[in-house]
Chain A
Amino acid sequence: MKKLILSTAALALTAGVAMADTVRMGTEGAYAPWNFINDAGEVDGFERELGDELCKRAELTCEWVTNEWDSIIPNLVSGNYDTIIAGMSITDERDEVIDFTQPYTPPDPSAYAAMSMDVNVEGAVIAAQTSTIQAAFVAEMGATLVEFATPEETVAAVRSGEADAVLADKSFLDTVVGTDGLVMLERMEQIGGGVGMGVRESDGDLKATFDAAIQSMKDDGSLNELITKWEVASTF
């Protein structure tokens, strides 16, 4: 690692390239309240505010880019942006491929939304978004899993009666229950760890920088304020 930094520095000197401290932040932009596109057409949400604050503390210039969820990790390791800040739970599988900063939210439980409170989850048809940890969980549990391409469709499936319930992050379901007769079941599932920023494994410096910035926000309580403001999870 040290060697890499040295050679980078040497190269920067010889080539006379001034490395600007621009960090490109990759997000999805379709996952309110974590990240979404607001009326003005810009990235907004909990992670937008958090990311901007972290960059300010770390004295970095940050640029926001949106990328489709399915290819968000391949594009990071390929170098198209430098961090993933997209409500991504820290899991072992992901951790093998990329590195995570320390979590900036505690684990957010997954919840069920249904049209009535008395759905028996185990014997029911459960909707989930394709290739999410929730989809894997339902498959494991043995309920009838029905997968849709987008979160919007999973909720629509419950409304139309195609599925009995939808399993998704509680913070996401909070934004839909209460409309069209959707209610949240009492049963919750603890799947996945806290949410952290993803960085390339070779990018130790950047990880350390953001780790320090997150720590400072944890210490002065501003992180908890943000979490409460956007209702994304419980506080630390």
Chain B
Amino acid sequence: MFEYCTDPETLDGLRWLSCYLTTGKHINFYWSFVTVLVLLFITAPTALAFGFLGAMSARAQVAPVRWLGQAYISVVRGVPDIAFFLFFVIALDQGFEWMRHQAFCPDWTDPIRQGNDFLVCPDAKLPLSSSPQWVHEVYGFFLAVLTFAIVFGAFAANVMFGAMRAVPRAQMETAEAYGMTHRQTFWRVLVPQMWMYALPGLGNLWMILIKATPLLFLLGVEDIVYWARELGGTINPRFTDYPHGDWRLWYFLALLVFYLAFTRVSEILIERLNKRLRHGQAIVGAGA
């Protein structure tokens, strides 16, 4: 990074630190913060979409759809997220490849499962084995987002399901009295009114999502905790220009500060949003 970094052994104090903190490995560490943030900001709306679909189907009129929705919510909520992450990504990946295999290689005669191997035709591979590394990384990232969204979608569905039922019956009846159809009542009254009731739960869910990011390494994404462990561990002079002892404490301290700051900022923003949504509602604690 800096010119004087060419011979780290001669450096000391702040100059050594400035070189140490700008090694390629550290740059990866800093980038992983960006990765985690981007992932969170993509996952949140995706999980919300899953949650909305889940909540909608859980209160559907058609029984099989309702059962499906309710099963999704209760099964996924009942399982610890780690247990899910440990096998779900591979299952998801194989599922996609299997579907592509059916679509692209109808003439393929060899079995897909050969012993332990999972073999689809080259065209069905995701990503294609000829694609560059960044495609593989983007795909891995996408799988991680999807897995997170499915897990947290179930929690979001539960919150929204409750929120939909919390909307006062009188409001729905008024809408019906005005001659709105079932569909219109749903979209024009229930959905807009629901958010106020859903927000506290969804806000909490966002906090849980933030705090679940240390599990990202299970999904193949090199997150901040992965790099903190990697960088903080004792390292022998044979493998680095910057040998040091067990510094994990300092790296984890930095992560602690990051998480506390991030959740605090989120809390403040959610509180503001909450105030705005409550504005003008006929409930206790609403702003005038």
Residues of chain A touching chain B, judged by Cβ–Cβ distance below 8 Å, are 3-4, 7-8, 11-12, 15, 17-20, 22, 24, 30, 32-33, 36-42, 44-45, 63, 65-68, 70-71, 74-75, 77-80, 82, 97-98, 150, 152, 155-156, 175-176, 179-180, 200-202
Are A22 and B93 in touch, CB under 8 angstroms? no
Q: List 27 A-B contacts (CB under 8 A).
A: A4-B110, A7-B109, A7-B110, A11-B108, A17-B123, A18-B130, A20-B129, A24-B129, A24-B136, A30-B230, A32-B235, A39-B242, A41-B28, A44-B239, A63-B133, A68-B218, A71-B86, A74-B90, A77-B118, A79-B117, A79-B118, A98-B116, A156-B246, A179-B236, A179-B245, A201-B115, A202-B114
Does B238 sit at the interface, judged by CB under 8 A? yes
Q: What's the least CB distance linking B33 to chain A, in Å? A: 15
| Chain B residue nearest in CB terms to A21 | B130
In the complex, how many residues of chain B place their beta carbon closer than 8 angstroms to a beta carbon of chain A?
48
Known contacts A75-B90, A79-B97; A65 and B133 CB within 8 A of each other: yes
How distant is the Cα of A140 from the Cα of B243 in the complex, in angstroms?
36
Q: Which residue of B lies closest to A14 (CB)?
A: B107
* Complex Cα gap A9–B116 (Å): 23
A68 contact set on B, CB distance < 8 A: 217-218, 220
Residues of B within 8 A of A30 (CB): 230
Could you tell me if B24 and A201 are in contact, using CB atoms closer than 8 angstroms? no
Task: Given A22-B130, A77-B118, answer yes or no on A71-B123 (Cβ-Cβ < 8 Å).
Answer: no
Q: Which residue of A lies closest to B239 (CB)?
A: A32
Known: A68-B220, A175-B236. A8 touches B133 (CB 8 A): no
What's the least CB distance linking B30 to chain A, in Å?
11
- Cα separation A11 to B108 with both chains bound (whole Å): 9
Q: In the complex, are the beta carbons of B130 and A19 less than 8 A apart? A: yes
**Does B233 sit within 8 A of A, measured CB to CB?**
yes
User: In the complex the two chains form, what is the Cα distance from A97 to B116 in whole Å?
Assistant: 6
In the complex where A17-B123, A65-B133, A65-B136 touch, is A39 in contact with B118 (Cβ < 8 A)?
A: no
A18: B residues at CB distance < 8 A: 130
Knowing A3-B110, A78-B93, A176-B236, the reply to whether A39 touches B25 (Cβ < 8 A) is yes
B-side residues, CB < 8 A to A, are 23-25, 27-28, 86, 90, 93-94, 97, 105, 107-110, 114-123, 125, 129-130, 133, 136, 217-218, 220, 222, 229-230, 233-236, 238-242, 245-246, 248
A40 touches B24 (CB 8 A): yes
A12 to B217, CA, bound (A): 35
Question: A40 contacts which chain B residues (CB < 8 A)?
Answer: 23-25
Q: Are A37 and B245 in contact (CB under 8 A)?
A: no
Question: CA–CA, A77 to B116, complex, Å?
Answer: 6
* A42/B24 contact (C-beta < 8 A), A79-B97, A180-B245, A202-B117 known: yes
CA distance A38 to B240 in the complex (A): 7
Whether A11 pairs with B114 at a CB distance below 8 angstroms is no
Contact of A176 among B114, B115, B133, B234 (CB under 8 A): B234
Name the B residues within 8 Å of A202 (CB-CB). Answer: 114-115, 117, 119
Chain B: minimal CB distance from A197 (Å): 16
Q: With A40-B23, A40-B25 known to touch, is A33 a contact of B220 (CB < 8 Å)? A: no
B239–A36 CB distance below 8 A: yes
- Residues of chain B within 8 A of A78, CB atoms compared: 90, 93-94, 118
